[in-house]
Amino acid sequence: MTSKRKSTALTEAQCVSLAQKILRERLCQQRLPEQPVGLESQYRHLLELLKRTAVHGESNSVLIVGPRGAGKTMLLGCVLRELMNLKEVLKNVLQVELNGLLQTDDKIALKEITRQLHLENVVGDKVFGSFAENLAFLLEALKSGDKSRSRPVLFILDEFDLFAHHKNQTLLYNLLDVSQSAQAPVAVVGLTCRLDVLELLEKRVKSRFSHRQIHLLNPLSFTQYVEAVGSQLSLPQDFPHPKFCDEWNRSVTKLCEDKSVEELLRRQFNSSKDFRSLYMLLFLAVIRVSPSHSTLRESDLLEASRLISADSKANILHGLSVLELCLIIAMKHLNDTYDGEPFNFQMVHNEFTKFIQRKSHTIHKFEKPVVMKAFEHLVELEMVRAVDSATGKVQREYQLMRLMLEHGQVMEALQKYPQCPTDVKQWALSAFA
């Protein structure tokens, strides 16, 4: 199939789908890059550390700390990839991967460790013995090891802070204790997004941790950010259709220099520097490319950014009926007059009937149960929320509520509301209803 593609020229449609496939892998599946960008010193530090464990049998512990989407797993993945390429490492290292979200207590974590190490109490994929026996067995196994003869074990603890919430922190104590005593060589690598992770550790656990922390905080400048966008979007040189590839890459370069795109990226950069949200934006743009327009255009990016930055509550407001909108305006007025004090349905209803009687000619008078139903609908959408959740004790009409909307959100929604009656708009604008 591929040889056929190379011999005969690809059609436009095939090129587009292939390009999309490549970019999708890059943006959604978190493929490891050739080399981590902007993390050289951290990369070297971690690589040296793990290499010493693997080659010299020195036990170590390290924490990788950085906000979400800063590339912690990527860094570790790149380091491990390079480490495993060394000949003297590949067959001499055991690897145990744990995740705080999966191994929610020490019992499960211990079974997982035993399973991944293929200790003797594993039959097939099942681990036998009680929790206490498993722990004793694992510790005995690690204790029997020795620095220069037994294989080093790399323990990778993803979501490290969740392991600190386990009972007595037994697992952490034991792993770190092994790393600080003359037993089998281990390296404990923790990944976390909490900067205060060391404060979670118990005193004796903390004392056994080596206090090495690798921080991934990206001091990226805007120009570097735009460069990263360019390199993420361009197609590789070995793309089977060179002409399409050239055209695509040229369009990407042009796109990065475009004023409105720059403004959009600047906005994204200002709100967050993490790459995961950027990839989401680029992904939404890339999937809009089709055979009818085969290169990325600025309108694709603008549309993607519009989708991403939409305010979720404003979207809900657009879908409300006029009656529900009127109730929200009534609540806004109550908030304004009584300075954010909670209200109940009865007050909202009074406000609403006052409006109907005095001002409105377009909205006919609704029965009270109908208004109640609309109010309940708003409660279901969590636009309105009960102050205390003691349900059942108070009648529905008299339960104290709060509006979960900003002043600005209501006004903006009114501006955009399709065919909003004029007197409702005027009512919303008038300060004293």
Partner 1 sequence: TPRHATPSIPSRSAPARKPGNVLEEARARLHVSSVPESLPCREQEFQDIYNFVESKVIDGTGGCMYISGVPGTGKTATVHEVIRSLQQASEQDEIPQFRFIEINGMKMTDPHQAYVQILQKLTDQKATPDHAAALLEKRFSAPAPKKETTVLLVDELDLLWTRKQNVMYNLFDWPTRRNARLVVLTIANTMDLPERIMINRVASRLGLTRMSFQPYTFKQLQQIITSRLNRVKAFEEDALQLVSRKVAALSGDARRCLDICRRATEICEHSAGLQKGSGLVAMSHVMETLDEMFSSSYITAIRCASLQEQLFLRAVIAEFRRLGLEEATFQQVFVQHQALCRVEGLQPASVSEGLAVCQRLGSCRLLLLEGSRLDLLLRIRLNVSQDDVLYALKAD
183-212 residues in contact with partner 1 (CB under 8 A) are: 183-185, 193-196, 203-204, 206-208, 210-212
Task: Give the number of other CB atoms < 10 A from CB of residue 150.
Answer: 17
Q: Which residues partner with 64 through β-bridges? A: 191, 214
Which of residues 177, 227, 303, 423 is near partner 1 by CB under 8 A? Answer: 177
Which of residues 28, 102, 182, 394 is near partner 1 by CB under 8 A? Answer: 182
The distance of closest approach from Cβ of residue 26 to partner 1 in the complex, given in angstroms and rounded to an integer, is 23
The answer to whether 174 and 139 are in contact (CB under 8 A) is yes
Which of residues 4, 149, 364, 393 is near partner 1 by CB under 8 A? Answer: 149
The distance of closest approach from Cβ of residue 284 to partner 1 in the complex, given in angstroms and rounded to an integer, is 16
Three-class DSSP category at 57: coil
Query: Of the two residues 118 and 393, which places its CB atom closer to partner 1 in the complex?
Result: 118
Q: Does 217 bind partner 1 (CB under 8 A)?
A: yes
The distance of closest approach from Cβ of residue 217 to partner 1 in the complex, given in angstroms and rounded to an integer, is 4
Instruction: For the segment 380-409, give every residue that binds partner 1 (CB under 8 A).
Output: 382, 385, 402, 404-406, 408-409
Query: Of the two residues 129 and 240, which places its CB atom closer to partner 1 in the complex?
Result: 129
Name the strand (E) or helix (H) holding 186: strand 186-192
Query: Of the two residues 135 and 282, which places its CB atom closer to partner 1 in the complex?
Result: 135
Instruction: For the segment 321-360, give every residue that binds partner 1 (CB under 8 A).
Output: none
Q: Which residues partner with 158 through β-bridges? A: 99
Query: Of the two residues 21 and 165, which places its CB atom closer to partner 1 in the complex?
Result: 165
Query: Of the two residues 327 and 405, which places its CB atom closer to partner 1 in the complex?
Result: 405
Instruction: For the segment 364-383, give every residue that binds partner 1 (CB under 8 A).
Output: 382
**How far does the chain reach from its first CA to its final CA, in angstroms?**
72
The distance of closest approach from Cβ of residue 212 to partner 1 in the complex, given in angstroms and rounded to an integer, is 7
127-135, 234-242, 286-294, 347-355 -> range binding partner 1 (CB under 8 A): 127-135
Task: Give the number of other CB atoms < 10 A from CB of residue 214.
Answer: 21
Kindly give, in sequence order, each residue whose CB lies less than 8 Å from that of residue 243, ignoring residues fewer than 6 positions away.
none
Distance CA 290, CA 17 (A): 8
Query: Of the two residues 24 and 147, which places its CB atom closer to partner 1 in the complex?
Result: 147
Instruction: For the segment 16-75, give every residue that binds partner 1 (CB under 8 A).
Output: 44, 48, 55-59, 65, 67-68
Q: Where are the alpha helices (DSSP H) in 359-399?
A: 368-380
Which of residues 174, 234, 305, 399 is near partner 1 by CB under 8 A? Answer: 174
Q: Does 417 bind partner 1 (CB under 8 A)?
A: no
Distance CA 100, CA 402 (A): 37
Distance CA 253, CA 234 (A): 8
Task: Give the number of other CB atoms < 10 A from CB of residue 158.
Answer: 21
Size of the site for partner 1 (CB under 8 A): 90
Distance CA 103, CA 38 (A): 32
The distance of closest approach from Cβ of residue 85 to partner 1 in the complex, given in angstroms and rounded to an integer, is 16
Three-class DSSP category at 190: strand
Which of residues 86, 108, 132, 394 is near partner 1 by CB under 8 A? Answer: 132
Query: Of the two residues 98 and 405, which places its CB atom closer to partner 1 in the complex?
Result: 405
Distance CA 315, CA 282 (A): 22
Q: Does 142 bind partner 1 (CB under 8 A)?
A: yes
The distance of closest approach from Cβ of residue 417 to partner 1 in the complex, given in angstroms and rounded to an integer, is 17
Three-class DSSP category at 384: strand
Specify the pairing of strand 122-123 against strand 126-127.
antiparallel
Query: Of the two residues 211 and 243, which places its CB atom closer to partner 1 in the complex?
Result: 211
Residue in 240, 164, 146, 259 with CA at minimum distance from that of residue 202: 164
Query: Of the two residues 5 and 44, which places its CB atom closer to partner 1 in the complex?
Result: 44
Instruction: For the segment 266-305, give every residue that binds partner 1 (CB under 8 A).
Output: 267, 269-274
Query: Of the two residues 138 and 323, which places its CB atom closer to partner 1 in the complex?
Result: 138
Which of residues 8, 29, 85, 148 is near partner 1 by CB under 8 A? Answer: 148
24-32, 95-103, 214-222, 295-303 -> range binding partner 1 (CB under 8 A): 214-222
Instruction: For the segment 251-270, give every residue that binds partner 1 (CB under 8 A).
Output: 267, 269-270
Distance CA 433, CA 19 (A): 58
The distance of closest approach from Cβ of residue 409 to partner 1 in the complex, given in angstroms and rounded to an integer, is 6
Token pair, residue 184, equals 């089998």
**Ordered DSSP codes for 303-361:** HHHHHHH--HHHHHHHTS-HHHHHHHHHHHHHHHHTTT--B-HHHHHHHHHHHHHHT-S
The answer to whether 294 and 301 are in contact (CB under 8 A) is no
79-117 as b/e, with b when 16 or more CB fall inside 10 Å?
A: bbeebeeeeebeeebeebbbbbeebeebbebbbbbbbbb
